[in-house]
Amino acid sequence: MITPRAVDERPDGGPVAIGPYRLLRRLGTGGMGTVYLADRPGAAEGDPSRHVAVKIIHAHLAELPDFRRRFARETAAARRVPRFCSAEVLDVNMDGPSPYLVMEYIDGPTLSERVEPYGHAEPYGRAEPRPLRAAELERLAIEIAAALVAIHAAGVVHRDLSPRNVMLSAKGTRVIDFGIARPPDATTLLSQRIIGTPAYMAPEQARNERVGEAGDVHAWGAVLVYAASGEPPFLAASTPQTLLRIERDPPDHLDRLPRALRPLVEWAMDKHPENRPTAAELLSLLLAGGAGADPAPVDPAPVDVADQGATGGGYGWAGRSLDSTAVLPGPWWRRALDRARPPRHLGGPADDAARRGWLTVPLTALAAAVVTAAVAVPLTAALTTGLGSGGREDAGTRPSTTATPTATAPARPQFLGRPLTAFTAGVYEAAFSPDSGTLATASAEGTVRLWDLADPKRPTPLGQPITRHEDGSLRPGDGAALAAVFSPDGTTLAVAGDHGWCGLWDVTDRTRPVLLTDDLSGGQRDAIKAVAFDPGQNVLATAGADGTIRLWDLSDRMYPVPVRTLRGPKTGAVWTLAFSPDGATLATGGGDGAVRLWDVSHPRVSRLLAETPVRHTGDVRSVVFSPDGATVASAGSDGDIRLWDVRRPTSPTALGGPVRAAGGTGRTGAADHDSVLALSFSPDGGTLASGDRTGTVTLWDVTDRGRPHSRGQLIGHTGADPWVYSVAFSRDGATLASASHDHTVRLWRLR
């Protein structure tokens, strides 16, 4: 227990002890407190572990209850961070007038002391900086990235990663000083002012906005720029001017970075936090980025441990690898190396990397040791979240997932019984369950309904309608239900609609759906136009009226995790999206007429592959993949239906010219009567169904993808506005469902 006399003072006012710790000298002072080198109680003279670092918070801050709570949070945060990447917390005392924290003492310079050994205290101005060499920079990049992976996996955001908080010890790089670190959702009175080192802040931090893990990633890049150049990436005459530069200007001194590091640093320092990679993505790219690059042969010349400062560590770059066992200090590293195994490709734009010659980092023994021995649990958790079971094949030679389809021409289509007429407003979606035993419908009245199709001629409603409220009620202002899609295993239903409504329901018992989560809006308040499950079932994609595509990890369907936000059209909504059958590609269409293809084989590092070479002249309202994944069909308000060869998703090509539904005139604009609103491929890939604003469903023969032609039209939807919003084939292709603005859903027997 600390008493008011627990801190003994020197005559000059400086403390000589606190609690059982004898303070030897001051190591430094920060905004929160002062750090002292101290002796452990009872430690023998000459004991190499007798020294500790004691941080005592400033007296004027200790009087503030809010600051004490923040200090307690710092302690809890620091204790969650693995020892390998930071200073271990050994003791803490929150009682009395002088709370303190006792940490492992790390003997070594900070990065700022290494680069600027005399700081700005030289008699005749600033000392000449000593930037790190390429090999040292590469080692630093991996070790700080690995530390951030572990820190973020512990639920902590550092918020002040800077050269003075990076320690270069004999045991490796450590990230220290969690004095302003906090859980991502934490807010206090103290958060109302900007906290951090200005020159290394992210743009959102400079604006005093909420800072998350992406802010630490930005700082990772800024620290590397400093280490490479001896200068911060943003510098101006005053702090306000520096903050303004951070928001507006590209970082300085990027040309001082090694060629292979520069693209990663530029990506990490993107002005938009949602566009930056995660720390796990950075680390995976650093470790696996050598795939596709031809390593330069080099003799593995051993390096003396004593010369590490000059060589920068036991590995090289551009495919060269030195004898790491000669440079890694201590038995801990050696045991780690014994257990290390080269991991599979963990993610990232491999195709882009190979094409641009970006990333030429080999999987070095040192990096493997860091990952395998030190961050195995957090790194695995961070990198496997939302990732598919296999990587993408070469984009140009990706094999088809099914055989070439053989079309079965439909016989005379017929109504299957009476249309479903339980709706008081238009119906936007009709979707079959994977076994086609259930139909889900989403309507403008704000409900999602499930229908039993045991007798397709007499569909019967199952249970109560689903609404945005768990009790099934409808309330003024709820808006429309716009989408409803079953998961590939049929146990979960994703629903979406106006005002950011998006949730998951457990429909294992179709008569009693159970809400799993309604927190899939990603913070947006605009309508969510469409949703899609990837074939692997662990990722959900949502399309927003705000022009974004959001990817969610569904490993735990009660607690989905956002993994990536992609920017679609600069103006207008994303109306539609679809996963390829192998889950590696996502096609989207929106208000700018473009069809975009995204690499989502590793969702956390998803990125744009290509746009189709020709745009629609209006909104793209529907995109679908053929069952073999080789073709994307798109349609929109211009009345055109276009087919694209996407076997090379980086270079989609048109298959023939556009075809027109319902004899459209080709007029453009959202109100045109020939707009095509819905598409669906038959399971055998030989037929494409389209639904348009005239109320017509057209069946197209697409066995020759370059020359599609109409097989006939299904006429049944009527009224002033009979727009067909949705068409869907049953599993066997024998039944087609169409949903319309005329308040009905119709089932058609095709054979």
Lowest mean pLDDT among 72-81, 522-531, 558-567: 72-81
How confident is the model over 702-706, as a mean pLDDT?
94
Q: Which of 599, 520, 596, 565 is nearest to 277 (CA)?
A: 565
Of 39, 160, 534, 674, which residue is the catalytic one? 160
Q: How far apart are CA 687 and CA 689, in angstroms?
A: 7
DSSP state letters, 116-163: STTTT--TTSPPPP-PPPHHHHHHHHHHHHHHHHHHHHTT-B-S---G
CB count, 10 Å around CB of 674?
21
The pTM score is: 0.50
Give pLDDT, residue 117.
Answer: 64
Mean of pLDDT values over 326-337: 31
Nearest to 499 by CA among 474, 469, 530, 478: 478
**CA distances (Å), origin 694, targets 16, 470, 676:** 87, 36, 9
Quickly count: other Cβ atoms within 10 Å of residue 475's Cβ.
Answer: 9
Query: Residue 262 and residue 82: Cα distance in Å, rounded?
Result: 29
Place of tokens 């069952």: 627
pLDDT score recorded for residue 43 = 78
The model's pLDDT over 563-616, given as tens digits with 9 standing for 90+, comes to 999 998 887 899 999 999 999 999 999 999 999 999 999 998 899 999 999 999
pLDDT in tens, 182-230: 444 443 333 333 445 788 999 999 888 888 999 999 999 999 999 999 9
**What are the residues facing 443 on neighbouring strands?**
427
**CATH assignment, 1-105:** 3.30.200.20
* Position with higher pLDDT, 597 vs 536: 597
Residue showing tokens 């307690």: 72
Q: Is 323 a catalytic residue?
A: no
Highest mean pLDDT among 209-213, 559-563, 697-701: 697-701
Backbone φ, ψ for residue 593 (5° rounding):
80, 0
Question: What is the CATH architecture of 108-384?
Answer: Orthogonal Bundle (1.10)
Domain boundaries, the chain: 1-105, 108-384
Q: Could you check whether 1-105 and 108-384 share the same CATH topology?
A: no
State mean pLDDT over 328-334. Answer: 32
Give the pLDDT of residue 665.
37
Q: With 0-12 CB in 10 A as exposed, 13-18 as middle and 19+ as buried, what is 706?
A: exposed
pLDDT digits (tens, 9 = 90+) for 366-397: 444 444 434 433 333 333 333 233 333 333 33
* Mean per-residue pLDDT over the chain, rounded: 77
